[in-house]
């Protein structure tokens, strides 16, 4: 038997377009000699559909598209992920299409409800295995979370379940999903996935899927979605393991791909294993994919951003140019009286190196008029962060004006360290449509800039080596207001991504003053983060779907 893995980039809600993509993959798989092709989780509608699933018309449109797709399938078996509504029950399902018909349907058993996932809000769990014959081989289906960890035996089911044609029809106590498929006679397990990327995710997948293969004695084909969807990036990186848990095939990450896997005597014949790349390479590619798909799938003609001569905006403009092409990127330098000459020089050189459009719009005349207008209100009060934030808000207004005029989306340049501590200005440098570095710590920003320059030196060295500064007052540097970034980022990672409390963090060797300062700033800045644009998630805990802290909140960590 030959199995084709269709690692495709689906667009959420583009049901007809996704169906066409699946059909094209099935044609190419057939031409490659495949007997069966597997597509990602919910490939027909895109993932995650979220509250679209609450609309009966959306679910009905998916059902109609599935039947129309099935009618066009000949000479190959296609496994398609889709939502399935029947008699008041909604399932995350996978259907087997063969000879113009839907011949079997599997409903996902284990529904994830943690971090970015909330499938229990929409779906009911399935209970029955789905095993079918292809070229003399018994093939089973699981969907994503089904293989990530046993949830224990299921002894109950909803009352009034549907009839025998429903995928959850048969009652009874069952083991975890992979073992259940094996007990039903499966010799090979196909797993449809929409597993989002974060750092080191692939090694975790290897561990989990390899364990399931060894437990069941079955080879497992892991087909993963690829592409960006709002803050989530799906890296693809589909793979196959044999019954011993050894990787036999590894597809490329962050690209669409179609690979054919041959099964002989129940074992996958070894194929191409694409080498894993460095952390910096994977993160950079994830950021590029996030930008490319957010801009492209939402129909923006291009992007623009404020280029300051600093390291954060330097990284963002590189990502934008690499993701979209320099012709779709516009960099705007908005100097004030506090902007250093080297910032102007470095920004211009960087823009020239990348070939992006570069514009200079001085803000001092506008700033002076604002101060003149506010003179009576500010009389007798010292200059403070108000005047600093005013400069940032002028810049944000200018960028949004250009966005309105040209239709390009504004990319903000703030990083995760700044979002954590509130070192950003509402309606200023936070103004925009997509926050590229929202989940990138400052220390990782430096690593990514070094990585990008290793591909081709475009970022002037001085941008990387000079002390970071907002340049909103004379002699200003970030470390006037924040702990050293290596300290800040370490505390932030432990507190935010691991949910470790301040006492435990101090026991790891961090100074009490630094921990108190970072945690206090984190707590006070939630109202800003809630108003920040969506941005790419690359850690297990980003400031987005999986960070849900209340704004009005009097709880304070104990020290």
Element containing residue 410 per DSSP (H, E)? strand 409-412
Residues forming the active site:
41, 108, 144
Compute the distance between CA of residue 559 and CA of residue 554 in angstroms, rounded to an integer.
15
Residue 258's H or E segment, with its range, is strand 257-264
Q: What is the 3-state secondary structure (H, E, C) of 182-247?
A: HHCCCCEEEEEECCECCCCHHHHHHHHHHHHHHHHCCCEEEEECEEEECCEEEEECCEEECCCCCE
Place of tokens 């320099």: 326
Report the distance separating Cα 291 and Cα 303, nearest Å: 10
CB-side exposure of 152: number of CA atoms within 13 Å?
A: 2
User: Distance between CA atoms of 180 and 261, rounded to whole angstroms?
Assistant: 24
- Exposure string over 230-258, b if 16+ CB within 10 A, otherwise e: bbbbbbbbbbbbbbebebbbbbbbbbebb
What whole-number distance in Å separates Cα of residue 239 and Cα of residue 78? Answer: 18
Rounded Cα gap, residues 448 and 378, in angstroms:
42
Distance CA 225, CA 49 (A): 14
List, in order, residues 6 or more apart from 451 with CB less than 8 Å away: 278, 280, 281, 284
Q: Name beta bridge partners: 196.
A: 234
- Say if CB 329 and CB 291 are below 8 A apart: no
Q: Which two tokens stand for residue 464?
A: 């990387």
């Amino acid at each position: 038997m030959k199995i084709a893995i269709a690692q495709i980039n689906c667009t959420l809600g583009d049901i007809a377009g996704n169906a066409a993509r699946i059909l094209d993959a099935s044609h190419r798989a057939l031409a490659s000699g495949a007997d069966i092709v597997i597509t990602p989780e919910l490939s027909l509608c895109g993932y995650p559909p979220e509250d679209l699933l609450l609309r009966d018309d959306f679910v009905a449109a998916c059902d109609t598209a599935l039947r129309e797709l099935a009618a066009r399938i000949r000479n190959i078996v296609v496994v398609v992920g889709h939502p399935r509504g029947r008699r008041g029950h909604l399932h995350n399902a996978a259907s087997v299409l063969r000879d113009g018909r839907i011949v079997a349907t599997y409903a996902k058993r284990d529904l994830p409800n943690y971090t970015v996932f909330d499938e229990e809000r929409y779906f009911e769990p399935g209970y029955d295995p789905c095993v079918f014959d292809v070229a003399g081989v018994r093939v089973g289906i699981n969907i994503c979370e089904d293989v990530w960890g046993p949830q224990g035996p299921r002894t109950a089911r909803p009352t009034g379940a549907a009839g025998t044609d429903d995928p959850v029809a048969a009652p009874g106590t069952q083991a975890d999903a992979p073992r259940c498929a094996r007990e039903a006679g499966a010799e090979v397990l196909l797993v449809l996935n929409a597993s989002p990327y974060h750092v080191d995710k692939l090694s975790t997948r290897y561990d989990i899927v390899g364990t399931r293969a060894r437990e069941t004695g079955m080879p497992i084909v892991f087909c993963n979605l690829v592409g960006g969807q709002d803050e989530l990036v799906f890296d693809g990186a589909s793979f196959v393991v044999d019954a011993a848990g050894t990787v036999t095939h590894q597809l490329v990450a962050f690209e669409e791909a179609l690979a054919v896997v041959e099964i002989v005597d129940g074992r996958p014949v070894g194929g191409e294993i694409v080498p894993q790349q460095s952390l910096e390479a994977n993160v950079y590619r994830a950021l590029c994919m996030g930008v490319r798909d957010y801009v492209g799938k939402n129909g923006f003609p291009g992007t623009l951003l404020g280029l300051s001569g600093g390291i954060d905006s330097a990284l963002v403009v590189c990502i934008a140019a690499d993701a979209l092409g320099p012709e779709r990127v516009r960099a705007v330098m908005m100097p004030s009286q506090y902007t250093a000459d080297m910032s102007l020089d470095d920004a211009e050189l960087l823009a020239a190196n990348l070939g992006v459009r570069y514009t200079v719009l001085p803000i001092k005349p506008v700033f002076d008029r604002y101060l003149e207008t506010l003179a009576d209100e500010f009389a007798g009060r010292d200059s403070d962060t108000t005047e600093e934030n005013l400069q940032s808000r002028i810049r944000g207004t200018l960028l949004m004006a250009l966005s309105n005029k040209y239709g390009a989306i504004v990319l903000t340049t703030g990083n995760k360290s700044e979002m954590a501590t509130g070192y950003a200005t509402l309606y200023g440098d936070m103004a925009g449509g997509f926050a590229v570095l929202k989940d990138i710590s400052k220390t990782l920003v430096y690593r990514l800039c070094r990585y990008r320059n290793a591909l081709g030196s475009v970022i002037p060295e001085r941008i990387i080596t000079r002390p970071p500064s907002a340049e909103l007052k004379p002699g200003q540097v970030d470390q006037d207001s924040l702990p050293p970034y290596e300290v800040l980022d370490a505390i932030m990672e432990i507190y935010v991504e691991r949910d470790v409390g301040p006492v435990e963090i101090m026991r790891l060797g961090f100074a009490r003053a630094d921990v108190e300062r970072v945690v206090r700033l984190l707590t006070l800045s939630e109202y800003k983060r809630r108003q920040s644009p969506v941005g790419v998630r690359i850690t297990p805990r980003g400031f987005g779907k999986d960070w849900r802290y209340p704004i009005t909140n009097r709880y304070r960590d104990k020290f």
